[in-house]
Amino acid sequence: MAIREAAVVDWTGRFAEFSAREATLTAPELAEYGQAAWFTGRDDIAAVALERAHLTFLDEGDPVSAVRCVFWLGFTLGERGEDVKARTWMQRLFELCARSAGDPTIDATAALCRGQVAYLQGDLAGAATHYREAARLAEAADDPDVQVLGIMGEGRALMRSGRLQDGVACMDRVMLMIGTGRVSDRAAGPAYCAVIASLLARADIQRARVWTRDLGEWCDTQRGLEPFRGECTLHRATVMQVGGEWEAAVQAAESVCRTEERPETLANAWYRLAELHRVAGRGVAARDAYRQAAGLGREVQPGLALLHRDAGELDTAWAGLERARATVFEPAARAEVLAAAVDIALARRQPAIARDAAAELRGCADAVGTLLLHAMAAQVDGDVAIADGRTTDALQLLRTAWSRWRKLDAPYDAARARFSMGRAARAAGDEEGAQLEFDAARAVFESLGAVPDLARLERVAAASAGAAVADVGLSRREREVLELVAEGLSNRRIAERLFLSERTVAHHVGSILAKLDVPSRSAATAYAFEHGLVSAS
């Protein structure tokens, strides 16, 4: 569903207009002034304007508008982490609602707030009931803002309590309501972000990809928008990484790290940036970004463990994962921890531990039901089957994983499945089939710049790459690069010839020099001709 057609809203201009005549603003103008201040990141001014608007509405005998101002005032303070003030205004709201009980809009707002209180107290069943009642009353009162927030709240409560399909159905209703154009921008922003965050938490990348695109378009219609710009950008970075748009994802994550002020969003941005550095082989930058995320209170596993794995520090990697397995339970995050546990347990030659982690991941995928988790489960089951010598099972499982990753448009993960399929084919005695799978994976890793995965692949693929090459451990791709080095081509020219990035070529050249134990390109060329590794013609 495409986002509704909407004109650009100039919140910066509105704020300037109201600010110029602040002393003479009417109650409705004060409420709009507060909204413009909030949209442009001026929370202190927004709080003052909403408080003045609420008092003026009361003086004018408009309790419904007064309640609405108090609701958004409490919401704004809560977002800023000012819990004491937020609770004080929440109590004020309940007092106002009690005075005007029987008005459908006021009753709906009161039910919405009761749902929020129950949710924060961990009473998920009670929260879902209150939120549902708020949405019902708001629909009767023709109040789409409270209705959409009630449905959103119910969806979050249901998903946290394990009723995932019912929760997702609520989230779909929220998105459809926003698409009608009847929900105000003030309510649409929080709804968008809450829905996408909930979907990403359960690894529903298909829905998240659709709604993230729409959130981006919505943000683009809000000139001067501050509150959701960082979160929107970070959601897009997450989706772009899955889709293989790594350079764009890095730029997006870096922009959030530079500009975001909210600690939770900033911590998530640093972790996303760390993950992007890790898969590209930028270990020092990844470690620094993980440190930044951890300093803000963000769990940095399993990413940090995988960084240690890439450095050959398997015991350190395992220690971090063991701690995370005892503390991380959100579906998507736990699935990532379990997948990493399988990977590292197999590397440590602990197949029994890998089997247990794979079984738990399979159970998680069955419970949550998203395609991404099913793809992860098939992948780790296939890797475990290789370790157990069940090559037929491994090939079937990995073929399933590859098909699911392709359906998700996730090229990096699909290439990892092809790499495992190559290992399974080799274990089954099909060396030609193994090399074909390695070639397919190699092409994707090279195009993405996935240096650590490429290095692992080359080590495995070179094991049966032919006598002359095996003697010095060069892979077929490294031999291709060496031949062009011997022709005197620069890294840029080699990259153009082989359709690679310069960074990938530089990695290959460095690996060649190390394997040949020579100090320079000219020395590598001399060694290659002397030992018949390249043609003398």
With a cut of 70, say whether residue 468 has pLDDT above it.
no
Last residue of a domain, one of 200, 227, 254: 227
**What is the spatial distance between Cα 319 and Cα 216, in angstroms, rounded to a whole number?**
39
* Cα-based distances in Å from 301 to 46, 116, 293, 294, 359: 38, 30, 11, 10, 20
**What is the spatial distance between Cα 385 and Cα 391, in angstroms, rounded to a whole number?**
7
- Model pLDDT for residues 354-401, shown as the tens digit of each residue: 999 999 999 999 999 999 999 999 999 999 999 999 999 999 999 999
Domain-located, residue 30: yes
| Count of domains for the chain | 2
Least confident of 181-190, 296-305, 405-414: 181-190
* Cα-based distances in Å from 46 to 18, 40, 85, 232, 264: 12, 10, 14, 22, 22
- Cβ pair 66, 58 in contact under 8 A: yes
Q: What is the CATH number of the domain that holds 475?
A: 1.10.10.10
Residue 2: per-residue pLDDT? 43
**What is the spatial distance between Cα 298 and Cα 293, in angstroms, rounded to a whole number?**
5
Domain hosting 521: range is 465-537
**Inter-axis angle of helices 351-368 and 371-388, nearest 10:** 160
With a cut of 80, say whether residue 6 has pLDDT above it.
no
SS3 185: helix
Domain-located, residue 157: yes
Q: What is the CATH number of the domain that holds 23?
A: 1.25.40.10
Domain-located, residue 512: yes
**What is the spatial distance between Cα 359 and Cα 344, in angstroms, rounded to a whole number?**
15
Domain-located, residue 360: no
Least confident of 113-122, 263-272, 304-313: 113-122
Last residue of a domain, one of 177, 204, 227: 227
Task: Check the CA dihedral 134-169-372-318 and report its sign.
Answer: positive
Domain-located, residue 197: yes
Domain-located, residue 235: no
Last residue of a domain, one of 195, 227, 259: 227
- Model pLDDT for residues 15-63, shown as the tens digit of each residue: 999 999 999 999 999 999 999 999 898 889 999 999 999 999 999 999 9
Domain-located, residue 504: yes
- Cβ pair 534, 482 in contact under 8 A: yes
More confidently predicted of 528 and 288: 288
**What is the spatial distance between Cα 489 and Cα 534, in angstroms, rounded to a whole number?**
14
Domain-located, residue 62: yes
With a cut of 90, say whether residue 483 has pLDDT above it.
no
